[in-house]
Amino acid sequence: MEGIATTSISLVREHTEKVKPPRALWVPFPFGHALGRPDDAALQHRVLRAALELLSAPAGPVLRDFPDDAEGSDQPPAPVQASTIAPATDVPRDVAMETTQMRRYHERWLETSGGRTACGLTGIPVTRFRGVVRFLEEFADGGDADMTERSADVPLPNFVRYCADDLKALYYEGHLAMKSAAGGEEIARWFWGETAAGQLLRRVRNRLDASDDPRWKAAAFGVAR
């Protein structure tokens, strides 16, 4: 409307066909990998060039597929879902203690990443994540759990999702500090199969999904799949 040409990258072709943005490039990659495999600069540049080339189209809406000659090896594997990972028989039970231990590795991650982190959705500092754990435990047990940090304009299921995402980010980044070469599948299998936090989030997911409220069910999908 302001005369500014825009282009976009689509991960779900069916949605883009219905929304009809001015220009969109559909890519055959899983969620979280809009530009393709991490650290593959050549592939990422190809995707960006293909998206920017749509700006030359004289009229829209335009929806094109990423070039058919993209090799299968260019595509990262689909993320491993929690539902496909069986918990180990000796998973720790004390989530709060485990989280405190993971904070040490997360501090190492911050040092090596220049302070970059995915934690922060809740606005609660990692030094107070034991409180987040207690909140999630009470919620998973069916209690009327809440936190004073939850803003009045953030629905409870959304806040639960934020807490879960922050906790996962702490663990995932901490694991990378321990093993920098670990891939996404390896980290997912470790988190959902071997950590107390992973089992807690399974329980949180179960309570959300048991609700008849579609907003709760939507949050469950993101907490543990």
- The amino acid occupying position 183 is G
Q: Phi and psi at residue 187, in whole multiples of 5°?
A: -65, -40
Write out pLDDT tens, residues 146-171: 999 999 999 999 999 999 999 999 99
Residues lower than pLDDT 50 in the chain: 72-73
Query: 75 vs 40, 67, 110, 136, 198, CA distance in Å?
Result: 10, 13, 29, 35, 27
DSSP H helical segments within 20-155, as ranges? 41-53, 95-112, 129-140
| Domain definitions of the chain by residue range | 8-74, 82-223
Q: Encode pLDDT of 15-24 as tens digits.
A: 899 999 999 9
pTM of model > 0.85:
no
Q: How many CB atoms lie within 10 A of CB 85?
A: 19
Could you tell me if 61 and 21 are in contact, meaning their C-beta atoms sit under 8 angstroms apart? yes
Angle (CA) 177-82-167 rounded to 5° is: 45
